[in-house]
C-alpha cells in the first residue's frame, strides 16, 4: 500500500472510530499494537516490502534486520531457486504468525504488486542495476546490496533513474552506520591528522582462488538442479553452460557477474576513502594499476592488485591486497579503521580522543543501516548511503579494474565520467547485456 493510501486509510479509521464511540455505551478497547502506542507501529504505518534474492546475504538482512524491525512488514520473497524463496517465505510467516507472505520466482511479479512500498535487492552483482531501475520505475523505494552496479554506465543509469522517479534509496555500505567509522572519518575531515595526503586501502587477498582454479581444471557442464532457473539467474550475463562452481556464493569470482574483492570489499572501503576525502560526489582524476587475473579457469577476477588513484586536491588512494583495513595519513598523524566495526586506531591518543566542536564538520548520523532506510522511507528523506554517493563509490572499484586491464595511467573526468586519454578504457565503462535484460 502506498504512503498516500495509508494516510487516507488512517483518516477513514479515525472517522470510523468516532462513529463507533457514539454507537456504544460500553467501553470499547483497541489493542495498543493496533493503534501504534508505545513501541508498537500501527499496521497502517508499516512499510510493506518484498525481498528479491534470498541467498546468504539476503537471508541475513531479512532474518536479522527486517523481521526484527516493527517498521517493516515483509509480504513477498523472490528467488530463482525454489528452496531459497520457500525457506525465506516460511520464516516470514512463522515470524508474523500468518500466511500472508508470497514466494515468487520472477522479480517482475514482485514489482507489479501495488501494495508494496519498497524492495530489498540482494542478488548477484550483475542483476543489481537492472532490478533496481525496474523497481524505481515501478514506484518502489530501494535497499540495494553493494556494489550498486556492474559497470560505471549502469551506475549512472541507476542514479538518474532513482532521481527521475523520486525514490528513497540506500545501499549496503554499512560502515556509514558504524559510529566508530563515522568518528574516524569526522576526525580526518576536521583536520585532526593535519593535511590528508594518502589513504591506504587494503582489501582481502583472493590468492586461494588460483589454487581452486587448479583443482577444478577445465569445468565440465553440470546438471542444473531441480527447482533452479539457471537462465533467469544468468539474466543479462553471457550464456555459458551451467557449472555449480560459478553460481551462488562463488559468483563473485567470475568476471561475468562480479569484480572479485575489488567490487566486494572495495565497495565498502573505497566508500570510506571517498567519505574521508570529502569527494563522495566526485572522484579521482588519474588512475593507474597493476594486477593479476588467472589466465585460465573458472575464476577470472583479479586475485592480486595494486592501484593508485590521484585526486585534484593531491590526495592519493593506494589500494592493494592483504589484511583488510583503511588508513588515513596526514601531515600530523594517521587514523586507521579495520574490519572490526566497533573501534578504530590512531597514531596518538590525543588524535583519537580529540573533541569535535559544534561548529565543525558533523557527518550524517545513522546507528542502524536498515532502520535508517525504513525511517527515511517514512519521512521521504535522504538515507545514509544515497544513490549518487553509492554510484561514485562503485565507480572507484570499476576504475581500478579498468586501469589494471588497460595497463597505463588513465586520466579521468569525474564530471563527464569519461577517460580523456584512452578510448579503449572508455569502451570498458559498459558491458553488453543479454536480451531482453537491457537498461
Q: What is the per-residue pLDDT for 295?
A: 87
What nine digits make up the cell of 366?
Answer: 545513522
Query: What is residue 171's three-state secondary structure?
Result: strand
Close Cβ partners of 24 (under 8 Å, ≥ 6 residues apart): none
Q: What pLDDT was estimated at residue 211?
A: 84
Q: What is the pLDDT of residue 40?
A: 55
Per the structure block, which three cell numbers stand in for 48? Answer: 510493506
pLDDT computed for residue 422 by the predictor: 98
Determine if the peptide bond prior to 147 is cis (ω within 30°): yes
What is the full DSSP assignment across 271-340? Answer: HHHHHHHT-TTS--SEEEEEEE--SSSS--S-SEEEEEEE-TTS-EEEEEEES-EEEEEETTEEEEEES-
pLDDT (tens, 9 = 90+) of the chain, 439 residues, equals 444 333 343 333 333 333 333 333 333 344 444 444 444 566 678 999 999 999 999 999 999 999 999 999 999 999 999 999 999 999 999 999 999 999 999 999 999 999 999 999 999 999 999 999 999 999 999 999 999 999 999 999 999 999 999 999 999 999 999 999 999 999 999 999 999 999 999 998 877 888 888 888 777 899 999 999 999 999 999 999 999 999 998 999 999 999 999 999 999 999 999 999 999 999 999 999 999 999 888 999 999 999 999 999 999 999 999 989 999 999 999 999 986 778 999 999 999 999 999 999 999 999 999 999 999 999 999 999 999 999 999 999 999 999 999 999 999 999 999 999 999 999 999 999 999 998 8
CATH architecture under which domain 178-364+387-429 falls:
2-Layer Sandwich (3.30)
pLDDT score for 207: 74
Q: What's the confidence (pLDDT) of residue 210?
A: 84
Give the model's pLDDT for residue 13.
34
CATH superfamily of 3-175: NAD(P)-binding Rossmann-like Domain (3.40.50.720)
- 12 contact partners, CB below 8 Å, separation of at least 6: none
Cα separation, 228 vs 82, in Å, equals 6
Q: In terms of residues, how long is the chain?
A: 439
Report the DSSP beta bridge partners of residue 320: 202, 306
User: 196-204 and 316-322: which strand pairing?
Assistant: parallel
Number of Cβ within 10 Å of residue 200's Cβ equals: 18
Structural domain boundaries in the chain? 3-175, 178-364+387-429
Give CA–CA dist 338/274, Å, rounded: 16
Residue 17 confidence (pLDDT):
37
Listed residue (288, 273, 281) closest to 202, CA to CA: 273
Q: What's the confidence (pLDDT) of residue 42?
A: 65
pTM: 0.89
**Would you say 61 and 74 are in contact if contact means Cβ atoms under 8 Å apart?**
no
How far, in Å, CA of 278 to CA of 282, rounded?
A: 9
Amino acid at each position: 500500500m502506498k504512503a498516500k493510501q495509508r494516510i487516507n486509510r488512517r483518516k477513514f479509521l479515525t472517522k470510523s472510530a468516532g462513529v463507533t464511540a457514539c454507537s456504544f455505551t460500553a467501553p470499547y478497547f483497541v489493542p495498543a499494537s493496533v493503534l501504534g502506542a508505545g513501541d508498537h507501529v500501527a499496521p497502517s504505518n508499516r512499510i510493506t516490502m518484498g525481498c528479491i534474492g534470498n541467498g546468504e546475504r539476503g537471508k541475513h538482512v531479512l532474518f536479522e534486520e527486517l523481521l526484527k524491525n516493527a517498521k517493516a512488514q515483509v509480504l513477498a520473497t523472490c528467488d530463482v531457486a525454489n528452496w531459497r524463496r520457500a525457506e525465506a517465505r516460511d520464516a516470514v510467516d512463522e515470524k508474523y504468525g500468518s500466511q500472508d507472505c508470497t514466494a515468487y520466482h520472477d522479480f517482475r511479479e514482485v514489482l507489479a504488486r501495488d501494495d508494496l512500498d519498497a524492495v530489498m535487492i540482494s542478488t548477484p552483482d550483475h542483476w543489481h542495476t537492472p532490478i533496481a531501475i525496474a523497481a524505481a520505475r515501478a514506484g518502489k523505494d530501494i535497499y540495494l546490496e553493494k556494489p550498486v552496479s556492474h559497470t560505471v554506465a549502469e551506475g549512472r543509469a541507476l542514479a538518474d533513474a532513482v532521481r527521475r522517479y523520486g525514490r528513497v534509496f540506500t545501499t549496503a555500505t554499512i560502515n556509514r552506520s558504524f559510529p566508530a567509522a563515522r568518528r574516524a572519518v569526522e576526525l580526518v575531515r576536521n583536520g585532526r591528522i593535519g593535511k590528508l595526503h594518502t589513504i591506504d586501502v587494503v582489501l582481502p587477498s583472493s590468492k586461494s582462488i588460483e589454487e581452486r582454479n587448479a583443482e577444478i581444471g577445465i569445468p565440465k557442464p553440470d546438471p542444473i538442479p531441480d527447482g533452479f532457473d539457471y537462465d533467469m539467474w544468468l539474466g543479462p550475463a553471457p550464456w555459458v553452460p551451467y557449472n555449480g562452481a560459478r553460481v551462488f556464493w562463488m559468483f563473485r569470482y567470475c568476471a561475468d557477474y562480479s569484480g572479485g574483492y575489488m567490487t566486494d570489499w572495495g565497495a565498502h572501503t573505497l566508500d570510506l576513502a571517498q567519505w574521508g576525502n570529502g569527494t563522495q560526489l566526485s572522484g579521482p582524476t588519474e588512475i593507474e594499476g597493476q594486477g593479476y587475473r588467472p589466465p585460465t579457469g573458472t575464476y577470472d577476477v583479479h586475485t592480486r592488485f595494486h592501484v593508485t588513484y590521484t585526486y585534484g586536491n593531491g590526495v592519493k588512494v593506494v589500494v592493494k591486497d592483504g589484511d583488510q583495513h583503511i588508513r588515513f595519513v596526514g601531515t600530523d598523524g594517521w587514523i586507521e579503521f579495520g574490519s572490526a566495526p566497533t573501534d578504530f586506531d590512531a597514531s596518538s591518543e590525543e588524535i583519537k580522543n580529540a573533541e569535535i566542536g559544534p561548529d565543525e564538520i558533523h557527518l550524517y548520523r545513522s546507528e542502524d543501516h536498515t532502520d535508517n532506510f525504513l525511517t527515511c522511507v517514512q519521512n521521504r528523506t535522504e538515507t545514509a548511503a544515497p544513490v549518487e554517493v553509492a554510484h561514485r563509490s562503485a565507480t572507484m572499484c570499476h576504475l581500478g579494474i579498468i586501469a589494471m586491464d588497460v595497463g597505463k595511467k588513465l586520466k579521468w573526468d569525474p564530471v563527464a565520467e569519461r577517460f580523456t586519454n584512452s578510448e579503449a578504457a572508455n569502451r570498458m565503462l559498459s558491458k553488453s547485456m543479454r536480451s531482453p535484460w537491457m537498461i
